[in-house]
Structures are given as C-alpha cells and as structure tokens.
A and B are shown apart, each in its own frame.
Chain A
Amino acid sequence: MAQFRAKKLDLGCFINIKVIRDHTKRKVFEQHEPERQALRYIIRNTSLPQRTRAQAQLQLTQMHCYTRPTQIRNRCIMGGRGRGVLRDFRMARFQFRMNALAGKLPGVQKASW
C-alpha cells in the first residue's frame, strides 16, 4: 500500500514494483513486530482473562496485512523474480547461473568430475 511506501527509494538492486512492494512490506513488518509479538503473547497466555485474549485476537487480525510476516517473499535482487530464488545468493536460478559463470560470486565453481 502506498501509505507505507517510503517517499524516497532506498534500494540499490534491480527495481520493479514487486520489489518495491516487498521491500515496503519488510520494513512495515519490522516496525510492527514488537506489537504483533505482544498481542501473540496475550493470546497464548491462558492465565489472562478470556475477554482480554479475545480482544487481542481481534486486534491482531485487524492489523494491516503489510504487518504480517507471511506477506514477505524472497525475490531475486538481479531481476525481481519471485520463483526459483536461491536464498544464499538472493538470486533466481538463471541470474545465479549467469553471475556464477561470469565469476562474480566468490567461491562458486561449476561442477566438473
């Protein structure tokens, strides 16, 4: 959502709207994580009154979807792809191949035996 987006872009990788959106979600989640964890604690704590816990449940479900960690998806930093992204290199499989063959990824070698 546009209300969360930073006024000035602070990304140094490949940029398209999906990458910007994902980046925004990450930052929003980081901001709201303590609040979410507090609500989760209240919900899980069976020694608290039922009413409080139900209220906390409601509050947690009514938080914006951008504050949810499940909204975050790892995307390729070279091409913005959302599928086939290698977590260690943050790159999709083809970008990884091109960069690895070009020798831009230290320690990566083509298998040969």
Chain B
Amino acid sequence: MAVPRSRILDLMKVQSRIFSTIYNPTNLRLGNKILRQRLKGPSLAAYYPRRVATFKDLKALYPGYEMYDAFEEDRLEHIQIAKSRGKGAPKKKKVADTSSKKKRR
C-alpha cells in the first residue's frame, strides 16, 4: 500500500495549483504567512468617529438664512447672566497699554 513519494509530491503540486498556494515540499520558511495576513490598517484607522457636518458648516453653506443654534444661544445667555451679576470675563487690555507697561519694566 505504500505510495511512492513522487506521487505524493505530484498530488501536492496539483493541490497547491488548485488552491493557489505556494508549492513548498521541503517545508522551507518562505514567510508566506506574512503575505496571507489581512491588512488591519483600515479597521484600526476607523476606530474614532469622524467629524460630521457641524452647525458652522451648515451656516457657511447657506449664508443668507436665519438659523437657530441652541448651544450658541445658551452660551450667550449664560454670559449675559454672568455679566449682569458682575461675574463676567474682564475686558481685554489695549495693545498700546501692554507695550508701554513692558517698556517701564
């Protein structure tokens, strides 16, 4: 029942041709397992959600239209309240003022 080695090699050759693998009867390390690996870059790069259109973009697209930005209105209202209570941000200094101060130092 012993099958000659040449027959088995032939079989392997046909097998590798059909399944389009590398014919490597002596089990050399040809590094083909690297080539068989999938590239995982695209899936890794898609981890973080990308920026989608923002309200600013919408406003830039339709410059003439009146739109209501709830977040911006909230922010402005909050600033208004803070200012009325005297808790607003300080006013910016004039540029000339700061330069003169630096000179004095």
A contacts, CB < 8 Å to B: 9-13, 19, 22-23, 26-27, 29-31, 33-34, 37, 40-47, 69, 72, 74, 77, 90
Q: Are B28 and A46 in contact (CB under 8 A)?
A: yes
What's the nearest-Cβ distance from chain A to residue B23, in Å?
13
Chain B residues with CB below 8 A from A31, complex form: 41
Per-position contact with A for B35-47: 1 when CB-CB < 8 Å, else 0? 1010111101101
B interface residues, tally (CB under 8 Å): 21
Q: Which of A12, A34, A72 contacts B52 (CB under 8 A)?
A: A12
Q: Decide if B45 touches A11 in the complex (CB within 8 Å).
A: no
Residue pairs across A and B with Cβ atoms less than 8 A apart, 25 shown, are: A10-B50, A11-B48, A11-B49, A13-B49, A19-B48, A23-B48, A26-B45, A29-B44, A29-B45, A30-B41, A30-B44, A31-B41, A33-B39, A33-B40, A34-B39, A37-B39, A40-B31, A40-B34, A41-B31, A44-B29, A44-B30, A46-B28, A46-B30, A69-B40, A77-B48
Among A9, A42, A44, A69, the residue within 8 A (CB) of B44 is A69
With both beta carbons as reference points, the residue of chain B lying nearest to A53 in the complex is identified as B31
Q: Binding site of B, secondary structure by majority: helix, strand, loop or mixed? A: loop
Known: A43-B31, A45-B31, A47-B30. A10 touches B40 (CB 8 A): no
Please count the residue pairs between chain A and chain B whose beta carbons lie under 8 angstroms apart in the complex: 69
Interchain CB contact under 8 A, A41 and B45? no
**Contact present for A13 and B48 (CB under 8 Å):** yes
Partner of A30, one of B35, B45, B51, B52: B45
Please indicate the chain A residues that have their CB under 8 angstroms from the CB of B29 in the complex: 44-46
- B30's nearest neighbour on chain A, judged by CB, is A45
Give the CA-CA distance A65 to B53 in the complex, in Å: 33
- Chain A residues, Cβ within 8 Å of B31: 40-46
